[in-house]
Chain A
Amino acid sequence: MASGAVNAEIVLRVSDLRISYSTYAGEVQAVRGTSFDLRQGETLAIVGESGSGKSVAARSIMRLNPESNTIVRGGEILFEGEDLLKLSERRMQAIRGPKIAMVFQDPMTSLDPTMRVGRQITESLKKHLGMTGNAAKRRAVELLKLVGIPNPGDRFRQYPHQFSGGMRQRVVIAIALACDPQVLIADEPTTALDVTIQAEILELMRDLQARLSMSIILITHDLGVVASSAHRIAVMYGGKIVETGTVREIFYNPQMPYTWGLLASIPLPTADRSQDLIPIPGTPPDAINLPKGCPFSARCPYTMKVCGDEMPEVTRFSKDHWTTCWLHHPMAPKVDPPARVGGRH
């Protein structure tokens, strides 16, 4: 899936986003100065493990973080000329659904179990597009067909519990697509699904993107999913993006030790069983006591004195490929990635 819209216009721009939330133990800085762009027709994958801040960042675009303890410490999210962080709730409601839609991880809880599936789709159509009765129903059935649900006419009237997990996720996607949004944010859309179903859903999303020319932000921790579905990748760690680039650049020419670590710790089907995997030692950082410098410094095998104290500068390798890592400073020692990582260029 590497053919991409490299020069397409930017649909969504996140700049220096800083989001924290307050807990009784202190302020948790979930997102600490993250910036990325989403271009027309592409899939941007945000990859990270638990605690990296990827979900919080994505939900911030939709302003879906819990009001009570979320603090926006800075940054802006530009969409169609407006800063989403500054819009009123009313304006956001007009955007959520028709312009930007979201698909969540668990299809069991994303659907209202007491409402027929068809109605969950038409609800959105009626509210945002002002469609009425029959027109809405027709469109809903069309959507069910579009996402590959057989007998859409009949299944329109069924309840969520009558669908299997994979089918439910398709319904969720249908609801998300109802008003033809420009941007689809998918937060771990296939993590809860079996591998054969996952393959189908990913295929569906790729297909829909091609047909509807939609831009997708795909949030996941699974690099396999990313390899098949993304054009560009942003790797997050400790609330910051530590490397970003096109799919080929990240997989074949990664430049940051955390990315190396991620790639080296996955067992590839072609891997030699006698070799141990190379895990990243330790655990993800405590989001309350983050180091002043690079968030990965505590676990990085190549840590230098400067890493813990100062945030590294941005080093660019190509139009799309940059990283923040002190190893690229002229004074740093030359380091090669582990043998398992990288490869073709």
Chain B
Amino acid sequence: MTATGANGSANGRALLEVLDLKKHFRVGRGMTLKAVDGISLEIKKGETFGLVGESGCGKSTVGRTLVRLYEPSAGQVVFGGKDIHRTMGEEARALNRKMQMVFQDPQASLNPRMIVGDIVAEGLDIHKLAGSGEERLDRVHELLETGGLNREHASRYPHEFSGGQRQRIGIARALAVDPDFIVADEPVSALDVSIQAQVINLMKQLQRERDLIYLFISHDLSVVKYISDRVGVMYLGVMVEMAPSEELYSNPLHPYTQALLSAVPVPDPDVELERERIVLEGDVPSPVDPPSGCRFRTRCPYTTEACVHDEPAWREVSPEHWVAACHCVN
């Protein structure tokens, strides 16, 4: 998976560039879990990049490494022209503020012992962004209302709220420090369908109003397609395909992407009746010991001898459409 340099087109400022990012974890007895093993992507101003994959593909790890919850094992993350892992002290803190995260689990993402007002204001308190107590309260109210909640909610505890409301509190918290980039790690997966739509709409609105960029991580392909400008598909730590949203869904080139798309249930009975499903063999291999050559070969319906040795090259096969190009892609 080579990738130094631009993955998107050369024009249009890329606010975030990820270059051959790797994150390995040591897991006892000298074995390494290669959670992320060489990812490259770019997000331009005002864009949303959707990162999809099934469990164990490493997408959450990518998100956490981007907000510096993990330090990368290799590779670079460049935000606004600066390599974020090479900055120190004050500059690092300032940069950190610009990149925030919204988490998946509405139960666990809010400290049950703090009132909502304090939770939302935490960023303000840490970076001393609000002067007097009154100013702080005003900001808190403002943030809550931005998230579609009421002012009175500031004095309540998280457990009194529903899942959707808690997610919105989480978003308000992230917005408090005025970030430019938000990593949303499965922000709606734990919510009911009708509530998902509320949160997604909120996120789209916030993006328009505040000129944010998003990395939207999810396993739900329909939601990702809807909210993302470009989508990247991950499998076992590497990216297998990346393209603009429409293009990926109408013209998937990699066998895994094709299988994934064919498996997504469509809420339309006639369509479901006529669909052809691509069935994958076997189980997902362990990221501790990924298959040699092409990682997908153990489950791919088109495996050949060559796949054991040759790791497919990451190529731009058509404008903005990148694939780990194996023999299938041609």
Contact surface of A with B, Cβ cutoff 8 Å: 1-2, 49-50, 164-167, 194-196, 198-200, 202-203, 221-228, 247-248, 251-252, 261-269, 271, 273, 276-281, 283-284, 344
Contact = CB atoms under 8 A, between A and B. Distances in A.
- Please provide the 8 A-B residue pairs with the shortest distance between their CB atoms, ordered closest to farther: A224-B265, A279-B197, A267-B226, A265-B197, A199-B263, A49-B192, A194-B54, A277-B197
Interface size of B as a range: 35 or more
Given A2-B273, A200-B279, A283-B165, A269 B263 contact: no
A58 to B, nearest CB: 18
A200 B249 CA distance: 21
Contacts of B163: 50
B55 interface: yes
Contacts of A50: 163, 192
Contacts of B131: none
Contacts of B54: 194-196
Given A2-B270, A195-B220, 15 more contacts: A49-B194, A194-B219, A195-B54, A196-B260, A223-B193, A261-B194, A265-B196, A266-B267, A268-B266, A268-B268, A269-B266, A277-B197, A279-B198, A283-B162, A284-B192
B264 A195 contact: yes
Nearest to A267: B226
Nearest to B53: A194
A26 B140 CA distance: 33
A200 B259 CA distance: 12
Given A228-B265, A277-B200, A269 B222 contact: yes
B284 interface: yes
A106 to B, nearest CB: 14
Contact of A226 (B220, B267, B284): B267
B195 A269 contact: no
A253 to B, nearest CB: 12
B201 interface: yes
Contact of B269 (A167, A196, A227): A227
A113 to B, nearest CB: 19
A199 B265 contact: yes
A202 B279 CA distance: 12
Nearest to B224: A267
A281 B198 contact: yes
9 contacts: A166-B283, A194-B284, A195-B265, A221-B192, A224-B264, A251-B267, A265-B197, A277-B197, A279-B194
A267 B249 CA distance: 14
Contacts of B93: none
A162 to B, nearest CB: 11
A263 B221 contact: no
B47 to A, nearest CB: 12
Contacts of B196: 265, 279
Contacts of A228: 265-266, 269, 272
A195 B260 contact: yes
Interface string B167-205: 000000000000000000000000011111110110010
A151 to B, nearest CB: 12
Interface in B251-287: 259-260, 262-273, 277, 279-280, 283-284
Given A196-B259, A268-B222, A279-B198, A164 B284 contact: yes
B164 interface: yes
B34 interface: no
Contacts of A273: 225-227, 245
B223 interface: yes
A247 to B, nearest CB: 5
A271 B198 CA distance: 17
Contact of B268 (A1, A195, A227, A284): A227
Contacts of B277: 199, 203
B267 A271 contact: no
Contact of A251 (B262, B263, B268, B279): B268
